[in-house]
Amino acid sequence: MNLEQLKGQFIKLYGRKPEKIFGYFSPGRVNLIGEHTDYNGGYVFPCALSYGTCLFIRKTNDHQIKFASANFDFTAVIRLTDIKQKQNDHWINYPMGVLNEFIKLGIRLTGMELLFSGNVPNGAGLSSSASIEVVTAIAINELYEAGLNRVELAKLGQRAENLFVGVNCGIMDQFASAMGKKDSAIFLNCDTLEYELVPVVMNGYRLVISNTNKRRGLADSKYNERRGECEKAVEYISSKKRIQNLGELSFDEFKGLKDTITKENILKRARHVITEIQRTKDAVSALKSGNLKKFGVLMNGSHDSLRDDYEVTGIELDTLVEEARKVEGVIGSRMTGAGFGGCTVSLVAESAIDEFIDKVGRNYHTRTGLKADFYTADIGDGARKLGEY
């Protein structure tokens, strides 16, 4: 993103005024392993990306919030008194939800002008929504001196998505966007929010993100259905052992309690969560010991479980993973994000990246009729201020 161009676009849109323009950035994320475990109180292992969302913002003396994006034609002007009114399914619900949470905290907002610009593929499963929420949160937190720390801002972004947008997401996406660190991934316990920054040493491999370009509307997908099925599994298991979420169970405990679950689909959902938590722990241990190939094997196991037990992949994601695993130099490939479209993440030898993009791209198009996009990903820092203009 060219910040000077964005500043020029901001001035063209809103005019020159004596008040300062402030710039902020918040990244998208990719989850290396630990999928659909966050809202179950388990472990995840995401990292922030160099891709993300810029926000240019200026305070005004009126009572209007003006929204615009360099990525979409839709703009809006909302009065502060109308901030609780949901605007259909437009992208402004994400920043509006954040503003609404600050209002609930008693922060007295004024009018403001906002211009967003993102290079996270929208709807791809790399958390463009969390990126928008977190960049809005850090801007409002600073400009209105709300005094929240980074973890509190991540939780505020999650509340905005849960309560205003209507998606029952866990904390992972907002946490990774707010707390990321260059060249490290975050080993996060989503129940306690204890976390550890783990250096990611690639030793000649790179992360390659492959976008199915099958759009998925998360709010109307089966995401909420899966969350409900996990809650049902907790009910079954609690007939013998009282738990609040599946993440409280060890693998061995689950083996002794799984017979309490009488519905096959509920058992499959729970089995994925329990085994995925164990895979995530094992993957972090493998990375710490320098065993990148074992990490790749565990990535493969994660995808297979998401396909067979959690049933959130679909032909597009499965095809990308199948074709990726055929390429020599690929040691792991899995879907990342909520599923039902979106992206895969693969560990690819640097020498094989060109072949990977060519072969996987051609074969994916032949099998699905869709054109995949590929991104060689760098692990970047979390949300931050860019400057004053």
pLDDT tens for 186-231 read 999 999 999 999 999 999 999 999 999 987 655 456 888 999 999 9
For residue 335, being part of any structural domain is answered with: no
For residue 64, being part of any structural domain is answered with: yes
Whether 173 is catalytic is: yes
pLDDT at 292: 97
Calculate the average pLDDT of the chain: 94
Which residue's structure tokens are 């995925």?
Answer: 276
Residues 6+ apart with CB under 8 A from 60: 17, 19, 110, 111, 112, 113
pLDDT at 125: 65
Question: How many domains, the chain?
Answer: 1
pLDDT at 238: 98
For residue 362, being part of any structural domain is answered with: no
For residue 323, being part of any structural domain is answered with: no
- Starting at the edge strand that comes first in sequence, how are the strands of the sheet with 22-31 ordered? 76-79, 64-69, 111-118, 46-60, 22-31, 384-388
pLDDT at 332: 98
Provide the CA 97 distance to its chain's centre, in angstroms.
17
For residue 23, being part of any structural domain is answered with: yes
pLDDT at 384 over 50: yes
For residue 178, being part of any structural domain is answered with: yes
CATH number for the domain harbouring residue 133 = 3.30.230.10
Q: Active site residue: 38, 62, 73, 173, which one?
A: 173
Q: Could you list the residue range(s) of the whole structural domain that residue 110 is in?
A: 3-199+380-388
- How does pLDDT run across 224-282, given as a tens digit for each residue? 899 999 999 999 999 999 999 999 999 999 999 999 999 999 999 999 999 999 999 99
pLDDT at 337 over 90: no
How sure is the predictor about 329, in pLDDT bands with cuts at 50, 70 and 90?
A: very high
pLDDT at 126: 77
Beta-carbon count within 10 A of 177 CB: 34
Q: Alpha-carbon torsion 326, 329, 333, 336, what sign?
A: negative
pLDDT at 176: 96
For residue 116, being part of any structural domain is answered with: yes
For residue 25, being part of any structural domain is answered with: yes
Task: Enter the pTM of the model.
Answer: 0.92
pLDDT at 219: 42
